[in-house]
Structure formats: C-alpha cells, structure tokens
Chain A
C-alpha cells in the first residue's frame, strides 16, 4: 500500500496556482527527493505532505485513508510526519527545551525521554549539547539540532526542505549520513533540493516539479509509460523498499 496518494491536488495562493498534481503515489520506505527550481512548488507540496497546509482542491490519501483536514485527525497524522524547514526555527531556551517539546506533547517522559534526546544528539554529532542555548548555535549546528529534534520523535515520515542548503561542509556530511541511514530505521524520507546532484549522491528516487507541475527528471525510474518531459497526467510510483537505498 502506498504511503501517500495525491489525486488532482491543487494549491492556489489568491490567483496564482502554486501546485497542480493530477496524480502522485509515494511508497513507504526509501529516500525520495523532490527537486525543481525555486518557486516550483516543492515547499508547498511538503507542507501538504506534512499535513500543515490543506490543498485548495483534490484529495490526499495517507496510509490508504483520505485525509480529513480537521484539527482532531490532523494532530495524530502530524505526529507521524515531521517537517524540517530549510531555515529551521529553534525555540527560545536550551537545546534540551527544544528537544523536549515534541516528546512532551506525545507523553514521552522520564528516562525514555532523556535517552531519546541523548541518542538523537549523538546521531547528529552534537552529543552533550543539551544545555547549550539554542539561539547561540551556528547555522550548521542549528540545522543539526533541528534534525535531532525531529529524529527524537521517531517519525514514520521525515520531510526535509533543503536540508543541505546553507550549512557548512562538516554539517552537510553529517546530515547526509544521517539521512542515508534513516530508511533502515523505518523512516521514509522525502527531501527537497534544487541541486541536481543530490538525488544521485543519496542514491534515492526522484520527483521533479516545474512551475507546480510534475515533470520527468532524467533520473526518474518509471513514469507510467510517459516520455520524459511530459508534465501533465503523470503518475509517478516510488515503491522503493527500505533495503534498496541508503548510504
């Protein structure tokens, strides 16, 4: 069963159509890259997949069920899919306070909470950063702490918006390694990038958007018999298993 299925999804901002996807299926597991130039609708699509922003029209299915854009059902869905923004926002206070929020709202307490926080910080190479002031961190550290904050929640889906942009070389390497290892932990990764080399380096599958519409990318595996470059009526199946991708 696919993890996400989009049917005739559009997103408009006033008169402008930011996204128009006739059909798209995203399977569970693996690293799916979402590429395209600036303004192509990548972040808009991520917002929909993260259940943060409803489409203007069309239907989104998650785990076989149609998403009802009602607050009560959305909270449960959002706890499965975590979005990491390109310029992540760290809350005022310590790193620990930042890491605690998502775990606290899920009712994760005590030793389990401490362990998950410590493990996540270790994963991003920032073990022992718990009591650092979040706002005093460098850009690369901020991105890594935000990634650790998401990892501590053990999400089923991790949506990453340009995670390698604006970070130093060391942080980029750490982030890339962490992302590559996530499918093996049972987390499906969907990440945006406008760097055409990144999907190849991550050894994942690719979805390409142009002007809000699906477009065939050179490295896209199967496009339901369509020739590359055909932007409309396009179904892309990404059914990669967790073992097929990674580092």
Chain B
C-alpha cells in the first residue's frame, strides 16, 4: 500500500512540475489522436450515413463486416499498415514508418469502423420522418441529409468521442508504427508501457491520470454541448 501511495505522490509531483518528457508524450498522444479521429470521421460518418440511408443487396453483409471491424486487434492493424509503409511495402518510399503520420493512418483505420457503426446506429435510430420532412420542405437530397445530421448530431458526437477514446488509449498501433521514439512518436500509452517495464511506476501513473483527465474533459465538453 505504501508503494502505491508513494507512487501516486510522485506522479502528482510529475504532473505539477510538468516534466518535458512527460509533456511531449501527452502532446504527441493528443496530436495523433486528434488527427486520426478527423480522418476516421471523414471516412466513418459518410460510410455510416450511406449504409443507413440506402438500400442495397449486400447491406446485411456490409453491416456484419463493419461490426467485425470494430473488434480488430490494434496489433493486426499495426501489422497491416506496417506492411504498406515499411521500406519494402508499396508506400515505403514515403518514409512514413516510425513517424506520427504512420500512427495517424493506423489509428484512423482503427477508429473508422467504430465511428461508422455508431453513426449507422444513430441514423437507424433516428426518426424516419426527418428526411421526408426536409425533402418535402424543398431540401435537396444533400441539404436534407445535412438536416438529418444536424438533428442527430449528439449521436454523431458520441460516435466521434468513442472513436477518440479508442485511439487515445491504444498501444499496439502506436508502438508498431511509431516505434516509441522519445520526443517524436512516444505517446502516453507507449510511454506507460515502457516506463512501467523499466520500473518507473510513478511516471506510468502520472500519464494514466492525464489519460483519464483527457477522457473526462472530452465527456464534459460533450455533456455541455448536449445541454445547450
């Protein structure tokens, strides 16, 4: 118990003094997570809307596939993207491996099915009168879909926040594609994994607390927007 309390005390000291190594890991995590959720949303929201609003023969298999993709292990996505961006891969010439950009690509692929599925659920759970109402009032298909999006914006926000929660807390993609390079691709989660294995338990706890604070802050913002 004393060990835990000592570690907690040391972790709070680390947070208060805001160690540069510590702050860089926090910044890198937020940076790659923010960009990856932007790309995941650009892929996932239109995909969820398209599947939810159109009827096609393969709709059920597509939904099953989207559901399955939500459960894909992070290391598998890391492995797949590694194959593409490693020096011998088709995009090896871009020099993406072990850069924040590679983590962003991997995390975007990880979060896109989550955003798509939750966007799809939001569309399917929405009032079926929204689209016909917007259309009969004179909206084009595009304008009516925008209206629908505005009506179900909290569902969409929840989808984006869930995706963000997934990428900010994952280790596999960041480790395999970022390489955990100090001051460059080291994220909060890879730093926790490394520092804990080195016995720097307090450092790990401090980053864990920051990670929880980020999740809490995002949810508070979401609740605030919901109330407005």
CB distance from A49 to the nearest CB of B (A): 11
Q: Is the CB of B137 within 8 A of A87?
A: no
User: Which residues of B from 43 to 97 have beta carbons under 8 Å from A?
Assistant: none
Provide the residues of chain B in CB contact with A153, threshold 8 Å. 137-138
Closest to B130 in A: A89
Q: Is the CB of A101 within 8 A of B136?
A: no
| CB-CB under 8 A for A75 and B140, given A52-B132, A89-B127 | yes
Q: Is the CB of B141 within 8 A of A78?
A: no
Q: Is the CB of A82 within 8 A of B136?
A: yes
- Chain B contact patch, size range: 10 to 19
CB distance from A155 to the nearest CB of B (A): 9
Closest to B137 in A: A102
Closest to B143 in A: A105
Q: Is the CB of B138 within 8 A of A102?
A: yes
Provide the residues of chain A in CB contact with B19, threshold 8 Å. none
- Does more than half of chain B's interface fall in helix, strand or loop, or is it mixed? helix
Q: Is B150 positioned at the interface, with any CB of A under 8 Å from its CB?
A: yes
Provide the residues of chain A in CB contact with B133, threshold 8 Å. 85, 88-89, 91
Provide the residues of chain B in CB contact with A170, threshold 8 Å. none
Q: Is the CB of B129 within 8 A of A87?
A: yes
- Chain A contact patch, size range: 20 to 34
Q: Mark A83-97, 1 if CB is under 8 A from B, else 0.
A: 101011101100000
Q: Is the CB of B137 within 8 A of A101?
A: yes
Q: Is A42 positioned at the interface, with any CB of B under 8 Å from its CB?
A: no
- Can you list 13 contacts pairing A with B, beta carbon distance less than 8 Å? A47-B132, A75-B141, A79-B138, A83-B132, A88-B133, A89-B129, A91-B130, A91-B147, A91-B150, A101-B134, A102-B137, A105-B138, A150-B137
Q: A82-B137, A83-B132, A105-B139 are in contact. List 13 more A-B contacts (CB 8 A).
A: A52-B132, A52-B136, A75-B138, A75-B141, A81-B136, A82-B136, A88-B133, A89-B133, A92-B150, A101-B147, A149-B137, A150-B137, A153-B137
